């Protein structure tokens, strides 16, 4: 059993709004992305975070979101490279529409998940799953995690015991917070 966690995805970036694959690259938050992070701050303001470790992807879009969503309540935000987004290799910066026709894959709030698995030179889901298992197994207690769309799905699927296959069933979206405790996930919005 894993400790209690809250998972936040970064707010919308300019590249998200354009439908670009980001992976290890970065794009700043849009005005909407900043509003989404403020919405997460409002959600978390109702929770006593004193006993929670605050862990964030080192990528700029996630750290910018963490600063907006959490800085009023916590003294420190620690980065952990295991929370970075899945690597998309040669497809970094490419428009999703250049990579597949709209009817080829199912679109989700995080884009067509199959593209992340197929990216030439990318990380792939098996490696992402191993990274997420190692990360959640290392948690020492209740934690707030600020991460990315695909990594968030894999982390939550791991904590819920659904593995890689359960990732596609995970809800996505920005401006929300997912609470996981005792094997149950709740979307807070």
Cα–Cα distance, 17 to 63 (Å, whole number): 19
DSSP state of 59: S
The CA radius of gyration of the chain, in Å to the nearest whole number, is 15
- H/E element holding 98? helix 96-99
- The two tokens of residue 76 are 């420190």
Q: Which residue's entry shows tokens 């209740």?
A: 142
CA distances (Å), origin 14, targets 8, 127, 151, 171: 18, 27, 19, 22
- Positions marked catalytic: 10, 85
What is the arrangement of strands in the sheet containing 177-181, beginning at the earlier edge strand?
Answer: 78-79, 53-56, 143-147, 5-9, 177-181, 184-188
Contact call for residues 63 and 84 (beta carbons, < 8 A): no
């Amino acid at each position: 059993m894993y400790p209690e966690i809250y998972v936040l995805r970064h707010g919308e970036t300019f590249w998200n709004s354009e439908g670009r694959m980001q992976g290890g690259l970065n794009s700043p938050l849009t005005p909407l992305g900043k509003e989404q992070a403020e919405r997460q701050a409002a959600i978390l303001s109702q929770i006593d975070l004193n006993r929670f470790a605050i862990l964030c992807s080192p990528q700029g879009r996630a750290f910018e979101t963490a600063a907006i969503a959490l800085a009023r309540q916590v003294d420190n935000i620690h980065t952990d490279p295991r929370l970075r987004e899945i690597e998309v290799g040669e497809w970094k910066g490419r428009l999703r529409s250049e990579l597949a026709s709209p009817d080829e894959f199912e679109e989700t709030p995080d884009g067509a998940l199959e593209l992340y698995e197929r990216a030439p030179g990318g990380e792939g889901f098996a490696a992402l799953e191993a990274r997420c298992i190692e990360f959640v197994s290392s948690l020492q207690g209740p934690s707030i995690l600020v991460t990315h769309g695909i990594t968030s799905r894999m982390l939550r699927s791991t904590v819920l015991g659904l593995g890689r296959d359960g990732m596609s069933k995970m809800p996505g979206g920005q401006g929300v917070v997912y609470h996981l405790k005792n094997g149950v996930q709740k979307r807070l919005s």
